Structure 1
């Protein structure tokens, strides 16, 4: 019994100490205070304060507000204020970057002591400046666990602000969001967990301070649990002192101990700290007593906007009361002359001392000295907007958004895979136009898009529900959600009911583009097969959310607030990416976008100007990220139709490595093909011939002694050299069902004549490398015979469909509008028509448009998917297509001791290519010996380099209107473009 009692006592004590440790473990060790305090006795500070009049010392504690969006007369009025009263700083509000920076420069020029220029930049300068990068709201940042990205955002803030001549940011928001109905904080808070809020606030602040900008955390002692907006009235924080210590003020304690430079005092009624009803910003007990003495904050204390209705005083002297309470600076002073006079009068009456004014002034000047205002230089406005939108800043933004996306439900549906068995619809609830979300979904799969407005009719809703019965997966994007809680966050009853019905009737992935709190108004959203919270709605968030749906990257976000019992704070499912494509920008993978675009643009335009092609497309990927995809020119030289990313091209000989080759690799994996077995094992027609004894490996490396090509169409000419009526017809019939082109059909029996001609073709005298189409004519039948599945169906079901390469097809005229297909040659000797949607290669055409050597059409994006699968050693989008062993075998040079550079099916760099000059190289000089790819006669190229993860896709119709145009080769455009990738990698700033 005694031992048991002692054990209980020890247990209680242990629990107490562990609890205390857990409470304060996240608070860093005490610091001496902000760094700028070491400069309060600096020579520059002493010099400036010694030159000031009393009025100027008081004015240093005042901050006035400017609106660069206003007229020149407003600017001139502010210059008069600066020249007359010498305020300590200005707060810049709405404006454009260049105009704002110019105004700041003019204001600084008129000030004897450099002005502190401040901004409300909670999500960056975009909160007040247009045409700049908008970083995520704090609620989204609260979902992120990696401090690196949030710290870097703070550094970005500092760099952008200093470009504009801004040295102070009224951010971060350090309020703990404990009231979902808060009408003013809400999404501006990092969340409801005080430690999470504290850490996030410090990471942002630390980034800014390390970048030389003063952060001012707000709104002390904590605005997170208010029910009113201090802009309009004085909010009540009706909690005990103990609760405020534990929750509301916890982040400010944390920030104080961490060494933050500034804290903003809020206009709040906090009876537990001051029961007089005095606004907290004007309360000596709260500012001087609680913040300064109890918490120990030594840095700058700046009020929230002093013109807000929540801080009115009976005597109209809020500025004076704020300074008396312990604030160092007063923000948004509406009448600085009156405020200075009020303080002077208080000095005369003894309400405030000169020593207090001078100490405050000295702290303000020390902070100015710390940010470098003692050596002030005007902001450089040249290319300012472009510099503020640097892709390096976008990289930070992308990483933040990706890390914030939070998966709350996943019933084995995320990431979306098994594309060949899915019929997908997207439904956008709250918008009626195709936007970034839908466009990005299209890059992954064949998706049909539907829209339902907030105010849709019951009939519209019923019609859509019926149409969705045809789909086995619905991706619902919920948009049109307001930031604040009024009116159920602006959602409509139709919108809420529609999502509920869709979830009830379909397999639905919901992507929620808005404030996480708004989820509580969607009754059965937790029954969706998948649920992603994106927190906000903009182009980049839409694009990245769509990428997450298909597995482009991992999901790791954790909900920073409690929505309701279904979704408590801290939940969030981890989802691992599946190595599908991501779509990004060059800087995210170590390339310079400006240099890359400049090089590729100039070469593409060179080709157009020299009539190498009427138009082209270029796609570049690195490490699984598509970082460049651009279209140039037109479909034809008539310049009637621009080239677009979704246009289909005749891939020509790229068919070899995108149609039969992946099927053959799969059959090697399944041991249905032995690369060293005689070819006649798989093509019995070669039995008994010398050719049939050669191994499959020789055929795939173009050393099976086959002629380069045979013009089969000439076999169908009559004695006069015209198309024989026994072989060709200008209309289809039972005996002429093989379609060669739009107006030409072939006798059904002619295919056997082609195969017999290949069999009987005279062998070349020596076994050596001679590029030949002939063997590839045979592979479709070989594949069909070995699988008992028609060739086209086999590659669609096993390769192109699962990859999401849904545009990849033979005979595209059957599946796509002709105006979406790039035309090739105007054939004036065989088919006598402009070829559009029909294969250019005559041999493939004679086989009905389906051959192993040519015939596949598709987009640049889908061609890239196939080659990315190769780069990833046979794996893509969560599916293993080809074993790594087989992939490695097929992409290696097979006969390194000979002059045959070929891999199995794939092309390889010229022997000793790295020693060549660019004009003689193939492909790029710097392409590694492990790289592989292929080109096509129509002007196409795909090349992959596993040594650095790069992929280069070039599509053109250089044969339009005639194949005699050799300018693409003469100008060496493809090789030069390919080399540009390596040049950009080499010159990327480290």
Structure 2
């Protein structure tokens, strides 16, 4: 984080100093080496032909076979070419080949790549940053500078030295087929500023950038790869618009400029491509604009320059026009021969060739090739895909998100309990990241339709979404690049428009912004989000934007017809709910976190302490680790999914009873000093009468630890008593314990009776007891005048979006989505799957304050984060800060009691590796563990949240290996160790 802040400071200091001097031109740094000792020494070894060859760069590929490799080696050894530009391939193959080619070359080769959006533009298994049009939406150009730094590191890591980027064309033609999304936009000033930011990141970290495509390729509807575009603007217009970014980036000291293949009559009336035009290159670029750096041609195999020009001859003409470096020369021997002829004819002097050769060699020294070493392949994959680089990638995407409409401040969504949400992905697939991330925030029904859906498909979805009051539409892009076209049929467009006109709707557009001009639904949607391209990051972060996990402040970089203007964009605040991100975003070490947690979980599974589990880690309301491990049980191979539900066991206490009691306390309906008999008169005149709720919740009341209620259902011979359990249900036996096990309807009274009659300990000191938690639901119902589970749903779970937090999960979920617990050999005599493991809880119809809740880690985390946020989450205040502070502090520490009110706390004694929580957990931290192998813990001081869900009671509750290994608290300690100070 410190290094990133330093980079930003460097960038802004530059803006305030050298770049602010508009009338001065900063000279490219490599020029100081043109007459260095090393350059002089190399020059003495080169023949005239070899000096020409230094000006030639040919195309190389790392995804082609041995024949191609030998062709390149021949050019390197025999023709002595100066460099290579690498196209498609992979990083390992690329480095191996570059090392081989360097070994074969007398003079180190200059390596280039088109890495406009990072080396992922050309090499597989590497990072692709957002396209430049996405970056054009950014309001913080220091992020672009940081991208330049990372791209520079990656280019050098694969043994290359030049980046043919940035594109500083002003894209003011929506029909532009070749620049378009590769441009920062239509605002010349912003194009210049962002181009300079990218350039500085590259150049200040040892990679030579080349601004392209001079003199400006933005206002054309012809692709120069296939024909010669003609630009008919006046010189005044060119000076004012197209040339502006080049002028500014030259002043800022860029090292290279690439010349495009364009016919620009206002600059050269002869009709020759600009690549071959001496008035444009030598006259305008060198003399008028004062550029002294490297001038490189666009690819010399493009139709824009090769038409009517033969190989070799066209290369000679490019050199005569003033270019220093020929890119993608098709016939190297012919090119060298033609240039030699030109020297002999006096069309160009040997000194001019030598000066350009020195310039190439100076660049080689500037990038360190005078001290060349082969590139090491060790850890190259990890180096090119670091967490830091991926976080930057996400930050760039997040900063580009643009909201063009937000009626009635719909975004970010609030009051989830009032919304019934459907999502429709158009052109997407069922498992697209957009819908996956949406599902992390609330219950959503997902639908998918193709671009040309049939009437039957559309009618089916129309019928299915009739009951929903909010529809989220994701319009996806199935192409590699965000082209300016629409594949959506008129029927689908009409269908989407009808939805937007009749329901609240959010349209998320994952395509080229120009395409919005022909999309009618964009005018009708309640909210409109633009991501500029379709990627895993853009889908993930757009979904997070909708729910307030992240915000948006992007501005449209281009105008879209008359609908939207360049600069449009609304500011949407984030931080409302969880942000799902990478550990580095919360100043945690991702590599350490993943390696250590994975290792401990694997150990626990290998030793059969647990068959699997879920872990969620959040810091500062940022989910930085969210993984599922292993299988649902030892007896099958069903893998645990992040959406699977676990039996929370005693974690139920702090996820059901405690939030309700805290809310009721805030409302003045519940007092910690009142006795249990004040709320349940049944306990008057019992030995528990007058014992305060404070003591009860702090486990300081002297209650027995537990009562085996189920034993009262059995005869001495182990069979069930006729008055307690039957094989079939009836009005008198309506409580289902398991298949063919139905409990007497009034058995809850028996449980209450046993609690009432139970003895108290001789002293009121700390003894963990769950007895009162069987009673609390009745207290809560009495005080709230609502059914317990309905009260929790309405006041907490539905508002939080914690829809998997539920009692009796089989009422809502299929069995395969619920993790099994133990094999019960003593009461139910079967595998417990889909019902609570706790005997007392199942005998209370599965609803108890002691146990009974099921959930996945993600939904538990929302409630726990609310606690960490002092009672607030998603814009809703649930509990007062004062009440939370009271419940989460030590209550009776003077008696050696570490408990809060319902919450567990760290040990009061000296911490140990085998303690109830991590050694580094602060005294302010709080949480709870569960008998099934669950643990949740929150630490306000470090803003850490830890959720651990498992079913350690597999195969039976006698399996205590999880405790012996201390897996949960060992993992929790890793979280503290992973924090980067």
TM-score (norm 1): 0.95
Structure 1, unpaired ranges of 5+: 1-23
Q: Do residues 149 (structure 1) and 143 (structure 2) align?
A: yes
Q: How many residues align?
A: 961
Map of 1:179-218 to 2, 5 A cutoff?
179-218=173-212
1:721 positional shift: 4.6
Partner of 2:714: 717
Map of 1:75-474 to 2, 5 A cutoff?
75-312=69-306, 314=308, 316=310, 317-411=313-407, 412-474=409-471
1:528 positional shift: 0.7
Q: Do residues 772 (structure 1) and 769 (structure 2) align?
A: yes
Equivalent-residue separation in structure 1 for 2:929 and 2:695 (angstroms) = 20
Equivalent-residue separation in structure 1 for 2:25 and 2:489 (angstroms) = 51
Per the alignment, do residues 515 and 822 of structure 1 end up closer, same or farther by CA in structure 2, a change over 3 Å counting?
same
Partner of 2:8: none
Equivalent-residue separation in structure 1 for 2:845 and 2:136 (angstroms) = 59
Equivalent-residue separation in structure 2 for 1:326 and 1:906 (angstroms) = 76
Partner of 1:796: 793
> Over aligned residues, Cα RMSD in angstroms?
1.7
Equivalent-residue separation in structure 2 for 1:128 and 1:25 (angstroms) = 32
When structure 1 is superposed on structure 2, of 277-286 and 717-726 the one drifting more is 717-726
1:486 positional shift: 7.5
Q: Do residues 53 (structure 1) and 47 (structure 2) align?
A: yes
Partner of 1:656: 653
Map of 1:448-847 to 2, 5 A cutoff?
448-480=445-477, 488-689=485-686, 691-718=688-715, 720-847=717-844
Deviation by residue 1:31-74 (Cα, 9 ceiling, x = unmatched): 43111112212111111112211111111111111122111111
1:739 positional shift: 2.2
Equivalent-residue separation in structure 1 for 2:819 and 2:483 (angstroms) = 51
Deviation by residue 1:184-242 (Cα, 9 ceiling, x = unmatched): 11011011111111111111111011110000110011000011011111111111111
1:690 positional shift: 5.6
1:284 positional shift: 1.2
1:432 positional shift: 3.8
When structure 1 is superposed on structure 2, of 499-508 and 338-347 the one drifting more is 499-508
1:498 positional shift: 2.9
1:753 positional shift: 2.1
When structure 1 is superposed on structure 2, of 69-78 and 519-528 the one drifting more is 519-528
Contact kept in structure 2, 1:183 and 1:485, CA below 8 Å: no
Contact kept in structure 2, 1:67 and 1:94, CA below 8 Å: yes
Equivalent-residue separation in structure 2 for 1:657 and 1:676 (angstroms) = 20
Partner of 1:4: none
Give the SS at the match of 2:737: strand
Partner of 1:11: none
Partner of 1:6: none
Partner of 2:14: none
1:720 positional shift: 4.3
Give the SS at the match of 2:745: coil
Contact kept in structure 2, 1:511 and 1:532, CA below 8 Å: yes
1:484 positional shift: 7.5
1:978 positional shift: 1.2
Contact kept in structure 2, 1:177 and 1:225, CA below 8 Å: yes
TM-score (norm 2): 0.96
Contact kept in structure 2, 1:62 and 1:89, CA below 8 Å: yes
Equivalent-residue separation in structure 2 for 1:719 and 1:639 (angstroms) = 36
Contact kept in structure 2, 1:481 and 1:490, CA below 8 Å: no
Equivalent-residue separation in structure 1 for 2:423 and 2:901 (angstroms) = 41
Give the SS at the match of 2:664: helix
Structure 2, unpaired ranges of 5+: 1-17
Give the SS at the match of 2:628: strand
Pick from 864, 868, 877: which aligns with 1:867?
A: 864
Equivalent-residue separation in structure 2 for 1:524 and 1:867 (angstroms) = 39
1:493 positional shift: 2.8
Partner of 1:70: 64
Per the alignment, do residues 484 and 771 of structure 1 end up closer, same or farther by CA in structure 2, a change over 3 Å counting?
closer
1:904 positional shift: 1.2
Contact kept in structure 1, 2:220 and 2:230, CA below 8 Å: yes
Per the alignment, do residues 526 and 896 of structure 1 end up closer, same or farther by CA in structure 2, a change over 3 Å counting?
farther
When structure 1 is superposed on structure 2, of 400-409 and 615-624 the one drifting more is 615-624
When structure 1 is superposed on structure 2, of 842-851 and 428-437 the one drifting more is 428-437
Equivalent-residue separation in structure 1 for 2:66 and 2:860 (angstroms) = 55
Equivalent-residue separation in structure 1 for 2:716 and 2:524 (angstroms) = 73
Equivalent-residue separation in structure 2 for 1:485 and 1:376 (angstroms) = 39
Equivalent-residue separation in structure 2 for 1:119 and 1:587 (angstroms) = 29
Deviation by residue 1:544-564 (Cα, 9 ceiling, x = unmatched): 111111111111111111112
